[in-house]
Amino acid sequence: MINKVTHPIHFQGNLQKKNYFEGWYYKQVSADERTVISFIPGIVLAEGDSHSFIQYTYVHIAANGQKEMRTGYLRYAIEDFVCNSEPFLINIGDNIFSETLVSVHLEDGQFQVDGLLTLGPFQEIKRTVLMPSIMGFFAYIPKMECYHGVISMSHAVKGKLAIGSKSIDFGGGKGYLEKDWGTSFPERYVWIQSNHFSDESTSLVFSLADIPFNGFSFEGFLCNLTIGGEEHRFATYNRSKITVGLISEERVEVALENRQAALTISAEILQAGELIAPTEAGMNKVIKEGLSGIVTIDFTDKKTGKEHHDIGQMAGIEIVR
């Protein structure tokens, strides 16, 4: 149990569970920031509809600025899902996802994604006994609706993918990896992620959600910001405070603060595609995700007085209200 909590990339469940989902989110952005593709391999265990799956979201920005976007959900038998812990590796059909590579052979009607990418090394988040994962001590609490793990804030990507009629070279690109598992996504939540700032050392992930717990619910949040190799954590569990300025269908503005630092985040979805999210009844909730959004951060280190302003591109943004 402890090994799973401290290594969220591992398969947290088992195939005998009921009303359960688990999914890994692999995001890759090309060096020229004109192409981004994410893959979500996972499983859902629901009465009458247990299966494994691979979702993808693809955005390509042409030289004239025109955007092409596609999303897809490919179903596989539950027996097609094979997961190994040491070393970590997922097989779904003839697709492979691990800590060092992604190998995909996806056919979605006339649209295909085929190729091999190598990943790493991962930029992991700081962990302690009281904060074994991005969820802090909440990671130890059983039977929560949804658990969240950040595997890599940023890592190098190499290799090529044939995507539709295009051949995309991801050499020199960047990746991001996280995952979710449990019985259902939160009914309402916000998620923002980018590691494409003008300062290449900067990466950000933020999440705000209504969290049911012991018959009531509370608004919980977490945020991890790395700048120049230093990590700054804002979260419900470390007594940080949040002020929500705006949440609309396309924009989010929040301010975070604790004793060490203050951070404001402003994010905007520029184009969104449909993804399928889990509920207690299975994978049946349609949500919108943007992969080419913009996020602006203003950070102040209270100890040094140092301020940092930056704008992140190719941001992943989900707003579900």
User: 93: alpha, beta or left, given left = phi > 0 and alpha = psi -120 to 50?
Assistant: left
Looking up tokens 């090394």 gives 121
Cβ pair 35, 62 in contact under 8 A: no
198 phi, psi to nearest 5 deg: -65, -35
**Is the pLDDT score of 187 beyond 70?**
yes
Percent of the chain predicted with pLDDT > 70: 99
* Mean pLDDT (whole number) for 49-58: 97
CA gap 137, 306 in Å, rounded: 30
Residue 269, pLDDT score: 96
pLDDT recorded at residue 79: 97
Question: What is the Cα–Cα distance from 210 to 188, expressed in whole angstroms?
Answer: 6
Whether residue 213 has pLDDT greater than 90: no
Closest-CA residue to 73 (of 314, 285, 291): 285
pLDDT digits (tens, 9 = 90+) for 104-117: 999 999 999 999 99
At 58-83, the pLDDT tens digits run 999 999 999 999 999 999 999 999 99
CB 35 within 8 A of CB 196: no
Length of the chain as a residue count: 321
Q: Average pLDDT, stretch 277-301?
A: 95
- 3-class SS string, 148-200: EEEEEEEEEEEEEEEECCEEEECCCEEEEEEEEEECCCCCCEEEEEECCECCC
Beta-strand pair 282-301/166-169: unpaired
Q: Say if CB 192 and CB 252 are below 8 A apart.
A: yes
Q: What is the pLDDT of residues 253-262, one digit of tens each?
A: 999 999 999 9
| 25: Cα within 13 Å, side-chain hemisphere | 20
96: left (phi over 0), alpha (psi -120 to 50) or beta: beta
For the CA atoms of 43, 45, 47, 52, what is the dihedral angle to 10 degrees? 20
What is residue 76's predicted lDDT score, i.e. its pLDDT?
98
Distance CA 225, CA 76 (A): 36
The pLDDT confidence band at residue 37, using thresholds 50, 70 and 90, is very high
Radius of gyration (C-alpha) of the chain in whole angstroms: 19
- Is the model's pLDDT at 1 over the cut of 70? no
